[in-house]
Amino acid sequence: MRRALVILMVWMAAAVGLVSSNDYFVSVATTMAFLALWAQSWNLLCGLTGNISLGHSVFVAVAAYVTVILFQQAGVSPLLGGLLGILGSVVLAGIVGAATLRLRGPYFTLATLSAAAVVLSVILHYSELTGGPSGLAITFAHDSPFDLEFTNVRAYFLIATGLLATVTLILDLLKRSKLGFYIAAIKSSEEAAAAAGVRVALVKVIVFCLSAALTALGGVVYVFYIGFLDPNFLSGLTLSVEIALIAVVGGINYLIGPIIGAIFYEAIDTAANATFGASGGWDVMLLGFAVVVLVMTEPRGLCELAIRLLRLVRGRPARSWS
């Protein structure tokens, strides 16, 4: 029932997007979908361990660059190149995940931040291949689904929301699988899970890799949507912070948390831009202070806040999504 609701919700958004004649609205909704997708994937890892990764953008960057370089320089279709790109991110995740197994809290956060910084530096350095700091433009010839190229931005919107729905579904299904059980056990008590024979270290690394793979998946499509690779953005702290922020603001214990968070984030951004113009810092300022107000009111995120409000209104506990 829950699952059906999620899918319904997402495809309703899709329908609205299809119908909408406002290109701007559709592009905002598309960005929202990508952000939500990344936040969902982030949540898989960080909801488990309670740590905060501020380096997730690196998985977007690695997959994006691999896919685009293969596409531009070797003519490999992004559908295949994308798989290789995702593989690259997964390998990186395996290394970082294994290396940071014993790190907690701020140590873990700084390690992920550093990993992203290292990759960014590497991308900037090998500029003949990657285009360096000026980035890479994706040559657009004609509409071609296999090359992930569409003139109509609604196509990207559909793909993005489809991916979001898929990822959400995957995460929901995961809960009923063996891996899902192990993840829940580790989350409650690593000690007890280990004492019951759960391979804690292995599960953590697998989760890291899975989280990276889903993030990378979004990244591959995203760069074709944007049509341009900006290394400072794709592997940058700003994007990593955005992703983490959206997930935590939405509520890390809820399946729709990241989706709500993305809507909140983009809504404020769009409203600020509409009212005060795109430059001048208003969007950033309003966003930051909105987060501060939210955390002080309900540190557990928007979903919790909504539940609290519903309880007040109805006088009885509302259903919780998780």
Binding site for other proteins (CB under 8 A): 50, 52, 99-100, 102-103, 105-107, 109-111, 113-115, 117-118, 121-122, 124-125, 176-178, 181-182, 184-185, 187-189, 191-201, 237, 241, 244-245, 248-249, 252, 279-292, 294-296, 299-300, 322
Work out how close the CB of 133 gets to other proteins at its nearest, in angstroms, rounded to a whole number: 9
The overall longest dimension of the chain from CA atoms, in Å, is 63
DSSP H helical segments within the chain, as ranges?
A: 2-19, 23-49, 57-74, 78-99, 105-125, 127-130, 153-175, 178-188, 190-195, 200-226, 231-234, 237-250, 257-276, 282-297, 302-314
In this structure, the number of other CB atoms found within 10 A of the CB of residue 143 comes to 11
Place of tokens 């539940």: 307
Task: Quote the least distance from Cβ 14 to other proteins, whole Å.
Answer: 30
Task: Write down the least CB distance from residue 296 to other proteins, Å.
Answer: 6
Burial of 280 (0-12, 13-18, 19+ CB in 10 A): exposed
CA 103 to chain centre: 22
Least distance CB 9 / other proteins (angstroms): 23
Backbone phi, psi, residue 196, to 5°: -100, 10
Shortest spacing between CB 213 and other proteins, in angstroms = 22
Between 22 and 121, name the residue whose CB sits nearer to other proteins: 121
Radius of gyration (C-alpha) of the chain in whole angstroms: 20
Complex with other proteins: residue 149 or 266, whichever CB lies closer: 266
Select 23 or 191, whichever has its Cβ closest to other proteins: 191
Alpha-carbon dihedral angle through residues 165, 113, 50, 198, given to the nearest 10 degrees: 90
State which residue, 150 or 182, has the beta carbon closest to other proteins: 182
Tell me the closest approach of the beta carbon of residue 113 to other proteins, in angstroms: 7
Nearer to other proteins, 159 or 243 (CB): 243
Structure tokens at 134: 């000026």
Least distance in Å: CB of 195 to other proteins? Answer: 5
The residue among 76 and 307 lying less far from other proteins, judged by its C-beta, is: 307
Q: Which is nearer to other proteins, 147 or 304 (CB)?
A: 304
Burial of 191 (0-12, 13-18, 19+ CB in 10 A): exposed
